[in-house]
Every structure is written in C-alpha cells, then in structure tokens.
Structure 1
Amino acid sequence: MTILKTMSVVILTVMLSSCSTTKKTTATYWVNSAKVDCDAGAGKTTCLQVSKAENHENAEWSLFYSTINGFTFEPGYLQKIEVTETQLDAEGVPADASSIQYDLINVLEKKQDPKLAIHDIWATTHINSKAIESTTTVPMLEINTTEMRASGTNGCNNYTGQIKNITSNTIEFGAIASTRKMCMDMAVPDRFDKAFNSISTYKKEGLTLSFYNEAGDEMLRLKKVD
C-alpha cells in the first residue's frame, strides 16, 4: 500500500506539473512611453500600449487592459520586458477580468523615447521651403506625444486630431477636425492645410522642426515657441 501510495503521489505531481507547464508561456513586449485613454469595462481609465515587435521603431501599438505584476511604468521611457503569461482557470476569473496573469521576469532594455523631443508648441516659419510673409495669425502646431494628439491653427481655423503613429523620424496623423470660418486672406491657411496633409517624415535640429513628404520635399518648417 505504501508503494502504491507513493506511486500515486508521484503520478499526481507529474500530472500537475505538466498541466502547469502547458498553461505558462513566456513573451517579450515593448511597452510604449505613454499611457492612453481606454475603456476597461468599468469606465474610462488609462492603459499601457504594448507591442511584440522586435524593434519599437516598427511597433504597432495595442492597448493592454490588464496589469503586469512587478512592472513599473515610467512615462517618457520605452521598455522592453520579458513576462510570463499564465492561463488562469476560467471558473475562478471574474467576468470583467483577464483570464491571463502577467508577471514580469526581467526588464531587457529601457531607453528615453526620442519622439518626446517634438512634444511642444511650434510656430510655422516656412511652407514648401518658402518663408511666410507677415500675416495676422501665424499657423501653429501643438504636438502632444503623451496623448498622441495634434492641435493648433492654420492661421484662420483651429484644428485638432489624432496622431496615429510616430517614430524617431516618421509621423502619421489621423482624421483632423477643423472649424470652417472664412478669413480675409486664406492664402496661407490653404497652403498650410495642403502641406500638412502631405506630411510623412520629420527632423528636429535645435529649435527647428521640419516636416517632409514621402518624396523628401520639405513641406513645413517650424520653430519652437518659448
């Protein structure tokens, strides 16, 4: 009986170990430098943005609604982390909770996010490489990389919209909403709008920010507002 009992314990231990192993996997994530607004079921909150891309420059960020045990989020820093994903028993998980438990194994890499360098308010000085002549209102652009939003004025109308994606040298804007009033002189606002809609890449040098189209032509040049 003792031998049978011992064998039963061994078999049960192996089975439990096997089940536990099949429920755990290891994954590597990049965690974005800013949280974004999200709807977590119980109401509005902020969520991490994660990607399993090898390089954060090519990352397509996804909202992460759960928590990562042992992980400390630091605004302004990109972090590459290794985590354990444990599949939980569905019967013991609340309806509004994740069925996967995430635990930090290690922080593999941490770096300051380069796109924070353009998180500022900018005044337009050139459109299509030509200096803007004196106007009543200079086109302005505010870039908020924390909230991934852009806003400002084209010299007549105010606008606001989403930044869909941004890397250290590329930027993609989402839909832009704008007021519709007509001003005495629409030449600069119309030129600004057309140039803004063709932006693909950017470069910051000192207090100057330049935007380019896909062909590499300079569309807008702006200076930092004090």
Structure 2
Amino acid sequence: MIKSIAAKLVLTLTLILGINMVSNADVIRLVVKEDLASCTGVAPMTCMQVKYKNSKNWELFYSPISGFKYQPGYRYVILVNRTKRTNVPADASAYEYKLKKVLRKVKMKQNTTTAWDFVLKHKWKLIQMNGVTQNDSPVYMTFDGEQKRVSGKSGCNSFFGGYDKSDGKLSFKQMAGTMMACSPELNKLEREFLTLIGDKTFKYDVAEQTLNLYQGNKLVLMFGMAPLK
C-alpha cells in the first residue's frame, strides 16, 4: 500500500514537472539559411544563420537545436521549443533549444558566382605596368564573356581581340587596334602596353578590387575596378 502511494506520488510529481517544463518553454519560429557562417563562441567555429519573426537580416545562431538534423544546401522553416536554463555558465547560452516541428525544407540553388564573373561586370583601368604606377592612365579594358572578346583603350587608340581563360590563366589572341596619331607620351605608353599583352598568356587573380596579371611570379599588369559605362 505504501509502495503504491509512493509510486503514485512520484508519477504525479513527474507529470507536474513535465507540465511546468513545457509551460516554461517558448515556441519560436525560425527560418534557417542553407549555408553556415564563420563565428566565434568560446573558439572559432561555424554557426547556422537564422531569421526570427521580425528579422530583416540573417543572424548568427550559436546554440545547438536538439533533434534538428541540419543539412547544408536546404533552407528550413522550423518550430523550436526554447527553454530558459538555470545556473548558466558564463560562456554558455541562456536557453536550450529543442526541435518541435519542421514546417518546410527546400533545396536551394547553389551560388556559382566566380571571380571571373566579377571581372566581366566591370571596366578595368590600368594602374600599374611593370612595377610602375600609372597615374590617371587612359588605358582600360573590358571583357565580353559570351563572345570571348576583349576591348578597350590602349592610349588614344582603341584595341580589341579575343581571349581564352582556363585554370587561372588568361590568354590574349589576335589583338588589333586603330591607328590614330598620338602624342609621344601616349605613343610610348600604348606601345609598351600592346607589346606586353599581345598574344601572351598570363596567370591572373582578383584581389582587393584589382585584376592582376602575372608572368611567372612577376606582377606585370595591375588594373583597378571602374564602373561600366
């Protein structure tokens, strides 16, 4: 009889505690982004990116969500039980999170934008040639990704030709240009530039909004980004 009463009391207390825990939990709705982001908690790590009900921008989410099996490449809409913790360590979250329900899971198209896509969107003005800074240089070039053509100004003349790009290398081919008379200074600049790029192959990279062309390990041409007009 005593054991039966004790068992009933334990069951009653368990139910009460369970009800209290549920009642103390907030249910929140989260949109979870399809990729992780670098963040810093106790140490550098990766975090989910989420939006709450009133969020305009993605926010870093530092805590794990119990029961939620996140898969990169998918955007989720989920309901989560959020429970306030007691005796929280200084470096820990004030809340515990537990998945309540996955409302939506959608496969997202992956972003395939490359450095070369960035190059195609801009005009590139010469700012350095063979280690010499070019102040207010008239030389620039643009690239047509569909036609695989390059064109621009080599000084006071226009130039044009084709290009090939693969494995971090950029090759110019069949270069030609107009033949207007120029000042001696522009003639010298134009001749040096066209000789340097004419039917040549370079290694290239894009860094700090500059397009850099190398022969071997030597930087020979540097172009700065300028708006297309």
Q: TM-score, normalised by structure 2?
A: 0.49
